[in-house]
Structure formats: C-alpha cells, structure tokens
Structure 1
Amino acid sequence: MVSTRVESLAQSGLLTIPSEYIRPVEERPTDCIIVNAEEEKNGKYDERTGQIPVVDMAGWEEGGEARRKEIMRQVAEASEEWGVMQVLNHGISDSLIARLQAAGKAFFDLPIEEKEVYANDSASGKIAGYGSKLANNASGQLEWEDYYFHLLWPTHERDMTTWPKYPSDYIEATDEYGREIRKLVSRILGTLSMELGLEEPRMETILGGQDLEMQLKINYYPRCPQPELALGVEAHTDISALTFLLHNMVPGFQLFKDGKWVTAKCIPGALIVHIGDQVEILSNGKYKSGLHRGLVNKEKVRISWAVFCDPPKDAMIGPMKELINEKNPPLFAAKTFKDHTDHKLFKKGQSKKN
C-alpha cells in the first residue's frame, strides 16, 4: 500500500505537482490536451487530434463474405501500419458499456478510505485490487494515476474477493463485459491469423486458447494542476497480445507514429484496440506493437478501462514457423511469456539508469 493516493493530492488544492511526478523535459506532453467546456462544445480540441484508423465492423455477421473480407483487410492494415485502431459496431451493446462505466465510476467516487479496503500490495506481489503506481524505474518518477486491477478471464481462475462489492452491479456488468470482450478477442486474433495466410485458430491456440488470460485495469487519472509536466501513463508498448480500451470521452490516449504523438479522437461507442508485443513477435514484426502513453487533464477526471489479453506465463512465444524462411529470418527469440515480461522490466530499469 502507498501512503498517498494521487486522488488525495488532486483534492488537496495544490497548485504545483510534487517533483516525483514531473517528467523529464523530453517526455513532457508539449501538445498537452487541456479540454475546457468551450473547446469541447465547439470541437476545437479535434484540431489537435490525429487520424488513428477507424474500423467499422458492421456487417461482419450479416453482410456476406465480401463485407467480412473487407473488415478483415482493414483490421490487418491498421495492425501493420499503426498497431492500433478504433473499432465501431464491435458487438458490445451501448447499454452494457454504460453499465460497466457507471459501475467503475461509482467505485472511484467512493471516499478514499472506503476504497482502501480493497488496497493491493504490489511491493509484495499482490497486484489485484486498488492501487497507485509505484516507481518501477531508477529515477523514482511516478505516474499521475490510481487504478483498480483484477483477473477477468478465465472465469474459473478468478478470485472474487479482489472484485469490488460496491456498487452492486459491478460484478454482473464487469463479468458480462468480459465475456463479450472474449468473443472479440477470438474474432481479432482469427482475422490476424488468416490475413497472414494461416488457419483462423492458429494464433489464438499458441496464445493459450481457452487458457488465454484477460486482466482488467481501470485507470483513474485525477485532475492535474500541471498536466503539461506530468503523464498518466509513461510511453510504453504493452507486453500483452492485444489490449482493448474504453474511456470516458476525455481525450488522452496517444500513439507515437512517424516521429510525433497522435491523439486518439473521442468517438462514442468505439473501442480502442491495439496490438501488443506477443502478436508482434508471433507475426515476426508484420503487426506492430505501438508505442503509446496516456495524458492527464487540468479540468476533467479521465477514466479508462483496459483489458489486457495475455498468454499463460509458461506459453512459449516466438515467430510462427510458417512465416520464417531464408528471406524472412526470425526477428525475435522464442521465450516463455514470463521470460518476455521479466526481460522487458529489466530493460526498462536499466534504461532509466543509463
């Protein structure tokens, strides 16, 4: 447990953020999105957003083979060129998304002392529950974020004591959302496999099949008095296979593309889907794991719901053999998912020291 939540700092009335939250000059969001009511009404912040691909999946079931192939092509193209896409008409109802978001917000609206009942202890390895990001780099820099984290799938491995009991709809809404995301995982992975010329289940099978894990992390970014100096999440690629992201329509997700940071537009009903390291490795670099980060806001609380899709820790992940030949040698060494994770954390720590 940490002694000070970021929410406590935000509520204290401070005008300047503590030094441990100030990013180095080269990391600061010079194109910081600070949305006020007038800008939002007039859509002016759209001028500072980019063109992350939007894939409309309408017609997947009933639109015929030609429509399905077109959607698959767009998914693969976005995965190759950007490593991220915004997906519309993905099959998850607006009402379910509203319930999920209402439940998550209701939990974070609780007084901090009531949320502390669910506090995790990441320093000792207990990561499920309510927490704040501890420093995991040599410089001791912190991110402007509190969060709630727990396993979402497989259902038989969940520890329901780590799920919030309030609000009363949290468990039901989150469980239902997880089941819908799991269907979408199969659809996306199947598409990526077939667009590589492989059988539909190939990639998902390597990633664990029914043992593929999904972790839910609700990211809570309180108002920040100096958003131009801080980050909600520092620049990184996800160790996951895929990540699915919802947010509360406050802009802040950024992808690094062609030497600049591109901010995702807020599109009602859209899911941000981005490729993680494991899919990049399996595809031998064909699909890209995009470098991304999260901004914070001076006037609005930003909340996002991230589902990370991971293989089991002992799954061996390397470039798929069907993609390797003399002209396309392997770009990555095969490792277990645990070894990939440990190696990435080690490299991150070393890079901060150098």
Structure 2
Amino acid sequence: MQGGKYANDQASGKIQGYGSKLANNASGQLEWEDYFFHLVYPEDKRDLSIWPQTPADYIEATAEYAKELRALATKVLRVLSLGLGLEEGRLEKEVGGLEELLLQMKINYYPLCPQPELALGVEAHTDVSALTFILHNMVPGLQLFYEGKWVTAKCVPNSIIMHIGDTIEILSNGKYKSILHRGMVNKEKVRISWAVFCEPPKEKIILKPLPETVSETEPPIFPPRTFAEHIQHKLFRKSQEALLNK
C-alpha cells in the first residue's frame, strides 16, 4: 500500500504512513518488510487522518495503549535514573518530560519468505530512541547480539519486550547499552510486531553524557548533538558502510 495519502515519503522527511523495505541493505541482503509508522502520543501531536479506520476500534484501542505505555515509560525511566544515582525524575526530564517525549509506533509486517536464508526482516541496528517497547504475534524473529553471537528472543505470552536505545546510552555515558538487534523472517509463518519508540524532541534537547556520569577516569564518550543530528550521524555512517560494501 504505497500509493495515495497513506504512503510515507522518507526523502521529504514524512516518515508517517505506509512503507516497504523490499530492497537490498548495506550488507547486500534483502530486507523483507512492510510497515506502518504513526505518532501515537502526545494526543495533541497525532495525525488521525492517516490512522487506519479498520478495525473500527483501532483508534480507541491504540490511543489507550499509547497512554498506558507512556505511564510505563515514566516508571522505567525512574528506575534507570536511580540506577545511575540520580533523582528519579532526572532522565525523563532530560528526554523531554511528559509534554515533549514522543511515542512513535511502527507496525512491522514480515510476509512469508520462500528463501529466508537470503533475507532479513530488519537489518542489524540500534534504536535511536530512549526506550523501545515491542509486542508481537508470538512468532519468533527478534534477535539480540549478545556475547558475540545472535540470540533469538523468547516469545513469552502476555509480556512486553523493552530495550534501551541510543538516547539513554548517550545520557548515561555508555553505562546503559543500546542493544544491537535485528528481525528475522521465515517461510512458514507471517510475523507481525508493534514497536513503540520513545523519542526526545528532535531540536530542543542537546544529547550528551550527564555531568554525574562523567569523571576524570570516565570522560565523555559521546559528543553533544541534538536528536536530529544524532539521526543524521547514523544515516551518514550507514551510507558510508553501504559504499564500502559495494
């Protein structure tokens, strides 16, 4: 569903809407995925004109889910703050607080793949977000790079997957790690996942290690950048890797 007003256009900066990644990635493998991207929180920043109209309760259910996830993000950020020896509200404030932190949902659809050994659902990457929450349809496919090898995440009923993204790794000066992960496909089952990325406002906040995480023996390992600049830095690195792999 690439046509019409529901299609996204990343070249022009319009990331919301439907898209497809049926193309070769930097490592030469085929990415085998369709997706739908839309901002789900705060409510006043949503564009309901592109939200699916079917099923009939999609908007109501998704809005309620986003509200619950936003409350969960606060709880997780409090725990992470305390883990760094900070006041419990510190990390949430640093990523935009209740009004500015954005929740972006990406619904991933991985079709049946006749030759899964030649394709990936999503290539290996870390998320730029502060936190990422993931639900799925109980079909395995999410893999994490752990201790030098790829490990498939278990499908646990009635659970939600959460991992830390680049934003928290930067603020913590590397004390919390943004996990390298990828999505796999198979030829027997369709896989669907619902990922929600908790992102700071693109231009308002400078991401850099917090002073409390820096010392003479642990100098800052990340330069100051806005969230938008961090995204561009990652895209530049990815394009350079693609050129090297040609």
Kindly tell me: are residues 345 and 135 of structure 1, through their superposed partners in 2, closer, same or farther at Cα, counting changes over 3 Å?
A: farther
Gaps of 5+ in 2: none
2:133 & 2:197 partners in 1: Cα distance?
A: 7
- Greater relative contact order (CA < 8 Å, ≥ 6 in sequence): 1
Cα deviation for residue 352 of structure 1 reads: 1.3
1:152 partner amino acid:
V
**In the alignment, which residue of structure 2 is the partner of 1:119?**
7
- Give deviations 1:138-183, integer Å, cap 9, x for gaps: 6776410001110011111111111111111100000000000001
2:97 to 204, 209, 212: 209
CA distance in 2, matches of 1:156, 1:140: 41
1:296 partnered with 2:185? yes
Partner of 2:142: 253
Question: Does 2:72 correspond to 1:170?
Answer: no
Q: Rate the CA distance shift 1:275–1:233 in 2: closer, same or farther, 3 A.
A: same
- Counterparts of residues 305-344 of structure 1 (less than 5 Å): 305-314=194-203, 315-344=205-234
Out of 212, 220, 237, which is 1:347 matched to? 237
> What secondary structure, in the 3-state scheme, does the structure 1 residue paired with 2:120 have?
coil
Deviation at 1:135, TM superposition (A): 5.2
Q: Once superposed, which parts of structure 1, at least 4 consecutive aligned residues long, lie more than 6 Å away? A: none
Task: Report SS of the residue matched to 2:173.
Answer: coil
Structure number having the greater helix percentage: 1
**Structure 1 contact 255–263 (Cα < 8 Å) conserved:** yes
> Structure 1 281/246 Cα, relative in aligned 2: closer, same or farther at 3 Å?
same
- Number of aligned residue pairs: 242
- C-alpha distance in structure 1 between counterparts of 2:95 and 2:77, whole Å: 10
Q: CA deviation at 1:328?
A: 1.4
CA distance in 2, matches of 1:137, 1:295: 14
CA RMSD of aligned residues (A): 1.8
- Judging changes above 3 Å, is the alpha-carbon distance between structure 1 residues 229 and 142 closer, same or farther for their aligned structure 2 residues? closer
**Structure number, greater radius of gyration:** 1
Report the AA paired with residue 128 of structure 2: I
Q: Percentage identity across aligned positions?
A: 66
Q: Say which of 72, 96, 116 aligns to 1:227.
A: 116
**Which segments of 5 or more consecutive residues in structure 1 lack a partner in the other structure?**
4-115
2:182 matches 1:182 = no
5 Å-filtered alignment, 1:54-93, equals: none
Q: What does 1:89-104 correspond to in 2, within 5 Å? A: none
Q: Which structure's residues are more often strand, by fraction?
A: 2
After TM superposition, give the deviation of residue 322 of structure 1 in Å.
Answer: 1.1
